[in-house]
Protein backbone atom coordinates (compact mmCIF):
# COMPACT_ATOMS: atom_id res chain seq x y z
CA UNK A 1 0.00 0.00 0.00
CA UNK A 2 1.43 3.34 -1.02
CA UNK A 3 2.09 5.86 1.74
CA UNK A 4 -0.33 8.73 1.12
CA UNK A 5 1.17 11.35 3.44
CA UNK A 6 4.15 11.96 5.71
CA UNK A 7 2.47 10.40 8.74
CA UNK A 8 2.25 7.09 6.94
CA UNK A 9 6.03 6.73 6.81
CA UNK A 10 6.19 5.41 10.36
CA UNK A 11 4.15 2.35 9.42
CA UNK A 12 5.44 1.83 5.89
CA UNK A 13 6.10 -1.71 4.74
CA UNK A 14 9.05 -0.84 2.49
CA UNK A 15 10.97 2.44 2.18
CA UNK A 16 13.90 3.56 0.04
CA UNK A 17 16.11 6.25 1.61
CA UNK A 18 18.65 8.16 -0.45
CA UNK A 19 21.55 10.14 1.01
CA UNK A 20 23.95 12.34 -0.97
CA UNK A 21 27.71 12.69 -0.92
CA UNK A 22 27.86 16.00 0.91
CA UNK A 23 25.81 14.59 3.81
CA UNK A 24 28.18 11.72 4.65
CA UNK A 25 31.66 12.63 3.45
CA UNK A 26 34.45 14.94 4.57
CA UNK A 27 33.58 16.77 7.75
CA UNK A 28 30.12 15.19 7.62
CA UNK A 29 31.38 11.59 7.73
CA UNK A 30 30.22 11.43 11.34
CA UNK A 31 26.62 11.83 10.19
CA UNK A 32 26.63 8.22 9.01
CA UNK A 33 26.01 7.15 12.61
CA UNK A 34 22.74 9.08 13.20
CA UNK A 35 21.50 8.13 9.73
CA UNK A 36 22.15 4.47 10.51
CA UNK A 37 20.43 4.83 13.90
CA UNK A 38 17.31 6.15 12.17
CA UNK A 39 17.37 3.32 9.62
CA UNK A 40 17.86 0.76 12.40
CA UNK A 41 14.88 2.15 14.31
CA UNK A 42 12.68 1.77 11.21
CA UNK A 43 14.11 -1.72 10.68
CA UNK A 44 13.19 -2.61 14.26
CA UNK A 45 9.60 -1.46 13.64
CA UNK A 46 9.39 -4.00 10.85
CA UNK A 47 9.92 -1.67 7.89
CA UNK A 48 12.04 -3.06 5.07
CA UNK A 49 14.65 -0.41 4.35
CA UNK A 50 16.84 0.08 1.29
CA UNK A 51 19.54 2.76 1.44
CA UNK A 52 20.73 4.40 -1.77
CA UNK A 53 23.99 6.08 -0.83
CA UNK A 54 26.18 8.34 -2.89
CA UNK A 55 29.64 9.16 -1.64
CA UNK A 56 32.08 6.65 -3.12
CA UNK A 57 34.06 9.27 -5.05
CA UNK A 58 33.99 11.78 -2.21
CA UNK A 59 35.04 9.15 0.32
CA UNK A 60 37.91 7.98 -1.86
CA UNK A 61 39.29 11.45 -2.59
CA UNK A 62 41.44 11.80 0.58
CA UNK A 63 43.04 8.41 -0.08
CA UNK A 64 44.13 9.67 -3.50
CA UNK A 65 45.30 12.99 -2.01
CA UNK A 66 42.61 14.87 -3.94
CA UNK A 67 41.26 18.11 -2.50
CA UNK A 68 38.55 18.57 -5.11
CA UNK A 69 36.31 16.22 -7.04
CA UNK A 70 38.27 15.00 -10.11
CA UNK A 71 36.98 16.07 -13.49
CA UNK A 72 38.35 13.23 -15.63
CA UNK A 73 36.43 9.98 -15.73
CA UNK A 74 39.39 7.66 -15.02
CA UNK A 75 40.27 9.45 -11.77
CA UNK A 76 36.62 9.54 -10.75
CA UNK A 77 36.49 5.79 -11.29
CA UNK A 78 39.69 5.26 -9.29
CA UNK A 79 38.38 7.36 -6.42
CA UNK A 80 35.10 5.45 -6.49
CA UNK A 81 36.86 2.08 -6.42
CA UNK A 82 38.74 3.07 -3.27
CA UNK A 83 35.92 4.99 -1.65
CA UNK A 84 33.19 2.39 -2.11
CA UNK A 85 35.13 -0.08 0.01
CA UNK A 86 35.63 2.46 2.81
CA UNK A 87 32.04 3.69 2.60
CA UNK A 88 30.52 0.24 3.03
CA UNK A 89 32.88 -0.47 5.93
CA UNK A 90 31.71 2.70 7.68
CA UNK A 91 28.07 1.75 7.23
CA UNK A 92 28.61 -1.80 8.44
CA UNK A 93 30.59 -0.58 11.43
CA UNK A 94 27.73 1.74 12.39
CA UNK A 95 25.16 -1.05 11.86
CA UNK A 96 27.01 -3.63 13.97
CA UNK A 97 25.57 -2.59 17.37
CA UNK A 98 22.08 -3.12 15.96
CA UNK A 99 22.99 -6.59 14.65
CA UNK A 100 22.05 -5.56 11.12
CA UNK A 101 24.09 -6.76 8.16
CA UNK A 102 24.52 -4.59 5.08
CA UNK A 103 24.47 -5.94 1.56
CA UNK A 104 26.21 -4.00 -1.20
CA UNK A 105 24.32 -3.58 -4.49
CA UNK A 106 26.07 -1.67 -7.31
CA UNK A 107 23.91 -0.63 -10.26
CA UNK A 108 23.77 1.78 -13.13
CA UNK A 109 20.62 3.31 -14.53
CA UNK A 110 21.33 1.23 -17.62
CA UNK A 111 21.04 -1.96 -15.60
CA UNK A 112 17.46 -1.06 -14.77
CA UNK A 113 16.65 -0.54 -18.44
CA UNK A 114 17.90 -4.01 -19.40
CA UNK A 115 15.16 -6.61 -18.69
CA UNK A 116 17.58 -9.37 -17.70
CA UNK A 117 19.70 -7.15 -15.46
CA UNK A 118 16.58 -5.61 -13.95
CA UNK A 119 15.11 -9.00 -13.14
CA UNK A 120 18.35 -10.17 -11.56
CA UNK A 121 18.65 -7.02 -9.46
CA UNK A 122 15.04 -7.29 -8.31
CA UNK A 123 15.43 -10.93 -7.35
CA UNK A 124 18.62 -10.29 -5.39
CA UNK A 125 17.17 -7.32 -3.52
CA UNK A 126 13.95 -9.15 -2.69
CA UNK A 127 16.02 -12.00 -1.25
CA UNK A 128 18.19 -9.60 0.77
CA UNK A 129 15.11 -7.95 2.23
CA UNK A 130 13.57 -11.35 2.96
CA UNK A 131 16.70 -12.21 4.94
CA UNK A 132 16.41 -8.91 6.87
CA UNK A 133 19.60 -7.61 5.26
CA UNK A 134 19.83 -3.86 4.64
CA UNK A 135 20.73 -3.36 0.97
CA UNK A 136 23.01 -0.37 0.34
CA UNK A 137 22.74 0.66 -3.29
CA UNK A 138 25.14 2.91 -5.15
CA UNK A 139 25.81 3.66 -8.76
CA UNK A 140 28.54 1.42 -10.15
CA UNK A 141 30.89 4.32 -10.73
CA UNK A 142 33.78 2.21 -11.99
CA UNK A 143 31.83 1.35 -15.15
CA UNK A 144 29.36 4.25 -15.40
CA UNK A 145 29.86 6.96 -18.02
CA UNK A 146 27.64 10.05 -17.99
CA UNK A 147 25.71 8.72 -14.97
CA UNK A 148 28.78 9.25 -12.85
CA UNK A 149 28.43 13.00 -13.20
CA UNK A 150 24.71 13.75 -13.20
CA UNK A 151 21.81 13.16 -10.84
CA UNK A 152 23.63 12.32 -7.61
CA UNK A 153 21.70 9.05 -7.46
CA UNK A 154 18.30 10.75 -7.06
CA UNK A 155 17.00 9.20 -10.27
CA UNK A 156 18.59 5.86 -9.37
CA UNK A 157 16.79 5.95 -6.02
CA UNK A 158 13.46 6.53 -7.77
CA UNK A 159 14.14 3.65 -10.15
CA UNK A 160 15.07 1.37 -7.24
CA UNK A 161 11.85 2.37 -5.46
CA UNK A 162 9.92 1.41 -8.60
CA UNK A 163 11.90 -1.80 -8.99
CA UNK A 164 11.04 -3.18 -5.55
CA UNK A 165 7.55 -1.68 -5.24
CA UNK A 166 8.45 0.57 -2.31
CA UNK A 167 5.69 2.32 -0.38
CA UNK A 168 7.69 5.54 -0.12
CA UNK A 169 10.94 7.23 -1.08
CA UNK A 170 12.85 9.63 1.19
CA UNK A 171 15.37 11.89 -0.56
CA UNK A 172 17.76 13.42 1.96
CA UNK A 173 19.25 16.81 1.18
CA UNK A 174 21.25 19.58 2.87
CA UNK A 175 18.15 21.69 3.57
CA UNK A 176 14.86 20.90 5.30
CA UNK A 177 12.63 21.28 2.25
CA UNK A 178 12.47 22.43 -1.34
CA UNK A 179 11.80 26.09 -2.01
CA UNK A 180 9.95 27.95 -4.74
CA UNK A 181 13.32 29.44 -5.75
CA UNK A 182 16.86 29.12 -4.38
CA UNK A 183 16.47 29.72 -0.62
CA UNK A 184 19.13 32.44 -0.62
CA UNK A 185 17.02 34.58 -2.95
CA UNK A 186 14.36 37.08 -1.77
CA UNK A 187 10.83 35.74 -1.85
CA UNK A 188 11.84 32.07 -1.60
CA UNK A 189 9.12 30.06 0.16
CA UNK A 190 9.31 26.47 1.42
CA UNK A 191 7.13 24.03 -0.51
CA UNK A 192 4.93 21.94 1.78
CA UNK A 193 3.06 19.57 -0.55
CA UNK A 194 3.19 18.90 -4.28
CA UNK A 195 0.11 17.13 -5.65
CA UNK A 196 0.63 14.60 -8.42
CA UNK A 197 -0.81 16.94 -11.05
CA UNK A 198 0.67 20.24 -9.82
CA UNK A 199 2.36 22.38 -12.44
CA UNK A 200 5.93 22.94 -11.20
CA UNK A 201 7.04 25.12 -14.09
CA UNK A 202 6.75 28.25 -11.91
CA UNK A 203 9.32 26.97 -9.43
CA UNK A 204 12.91 28.12 -9.96
CA UNK A 205 14.95 25.12 -8.90
CA UNK A 206 17.97 26.14 -10.94
CA UNK A 207 20.39 23.81 -12.66
CA UNK A 208 22.22 20.82 -11.28
CA UNK A 209 24.68 21.83 -8.57
CA UNK A 210 28.23 20.51 -8.78
CA UNK A 211 30.33 21.03 -5.67
CA UNK A 212 33.67 19.76 -4.41
CA UNK A 213 32.35 16.30 -3.54
CA UNK A 214 29.24 15.53 -5.54
CA UNK A 215 26.50 16.49 -7.96
CA UNK A 216 22.82 17.09 -7.48
CA UNK A 217 20.42 19.78 -6.36
CA UNK A 218 16.77 20.65 -6.01
CA UNK A 219 16.01 20.09 -9.70
CA UNK A 220 17.22 16.49 -9.67
CA UNK A 221 15.21 15.76 -6.53
CA UNK A 222 12.04 17.24 -7.99
CA UNK A 223 12.52 15.24 -11.19
CA UNK A 224 13.18 12.02 -9.27
CA UNK A 225 10.17 12.65 -7.06
CA UNK A 226 7.85 13.03 -10.06
CA UNK A 227 9.29 9.83 -11.52
CA UNK A 228 8.42 7.92 -8.34
CA UNK A 229 5.01 9.47 -7.71
CA UNK A 230 3.86 8.55 -11.22
CA UNK A 231 4.27 4.94 -10.06
CA UNK A 232 2.20 5.51 -6.92
CA UNK A 233 5.15 6.06 -4.58
CA UNK A 234 4.98 9.00 -2.17
CA UNK A 235 8.20 10.99 -1.82
CA UNK A 236 9.56 13.14 1.02
CA UNK A 237 12.45 15.54 0.42
CA UNK A 238 14.09 16.77 3.60
CA UNK A 239 17.40 17.27 5.40
CA UNK A 240 19.70 14.38 6.26
CA UNK A 241 19.79 15.79 9.79
CA UNK A 242 16.05 15.09 10.08
CA UNK A 243 16.04 11.50 8.82
CA UNK A 244 14.83 10.07 12.15
CA UNK A 245 11.92 12.51 12.27
CA UNK A 246 11.13 11.79 8.64
CA UNK A 247 10.89 8.03 9.16
CA UNK A 248 8.74 8.60 12.25
CA UNK A 249 6.17 10.51 10.21
CA UNK A 250 6.92 14.07 11.33
CA UNK A 251 5.41 16.98 9.40
CA UNK A 252 8.65 18.15 7.83
CA UNK A 253 10.13 18.64 4.39
CA UNK A 254 8.39 18.69 1.02
CA UNK A 255 5.91 15.90 0.37
CA UNK A 256 5.21 14.75 -3.19
CA UNK A 257 1.88 12.96 -3.17
CA UNK A 258 1.58 9.72 -5.16
CA UNK A 259 -0.64 9.56 -8.20
CA UNK A 260 -4.10 8.43 -7.06
CA UNK A 261 -5.28 5.00 -8.06
CA UNK A 262 -1.77 3.79 -8.87
CA UNK A 263 -0.31 0.95 -6.82
CA UNK A 264 3.48 0.70 -6.52
CA UNK A 265 4.81 -2.01 -8.82
CA UNK A 266 4.93 -5.48 -7.36
CA UNK A 267 8.02 -7.66 -7.58
CA UNK A 268 7.03 -8.46 -11.16
CA UNK A 269 6.31 -4.88 -12.16
CA UNK A 270 8.28 -2.85 -14.64
CA UNK A 271 10.31 0.30 -14.28
CA UNK A 272 8.73 3.31 -15.91
CA UNK A 273 10.41 6.54 -16.98
CA UNK A 274 8.65 9.88 -16.49
CA UNK A 275 10.11 13.35 -16.92
CA UNK A 276 9.26 16.28 -14.68
CA UNK A 277 6.89 18.90 -16.06
Query: Which residues carry a binding-site annotation for ATP?
Result: 18, 173-174
127: Cα separation from own chain's centroid:
20
Residue 92 sits at the vertex; the CA angle it makes with 236 and 234, to the nearest 5 degrees, is 15
How far apart CA 170 and CA 157 sit, in angstroms, is: 9
Torsion from C-alpha of 176, 213, 88, 30, nearest 10 degrees? -60
How far apart CA 116 and CA 123 sit, in angstroms, is: 11
Binding residues: 18, 54, 141, 153, 173-174
Q: Roughly what angle, to the nearest 10 degrees, separates helices 73-95 and 32-44?
A: 50
Q: Is the dihedral of CA 192, 161, 2, 99 positive or negative?
A: negative
How far apart CA 86 and CA 57 sit, in angstroms, is: 11
Binding residues for substrate: 54, 141, 153
Nearest CA to 238 out of 38, 25, 2 is that of 38
Amino acid sequence: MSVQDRAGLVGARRVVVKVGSSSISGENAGKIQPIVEALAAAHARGTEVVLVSSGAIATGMPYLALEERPVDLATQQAAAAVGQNVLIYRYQDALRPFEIVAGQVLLTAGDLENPTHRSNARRAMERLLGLRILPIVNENDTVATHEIRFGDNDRLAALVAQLIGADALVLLSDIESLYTRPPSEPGARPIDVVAHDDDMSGFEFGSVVVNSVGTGGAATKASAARLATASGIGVLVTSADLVADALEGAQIGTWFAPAPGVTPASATGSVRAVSVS
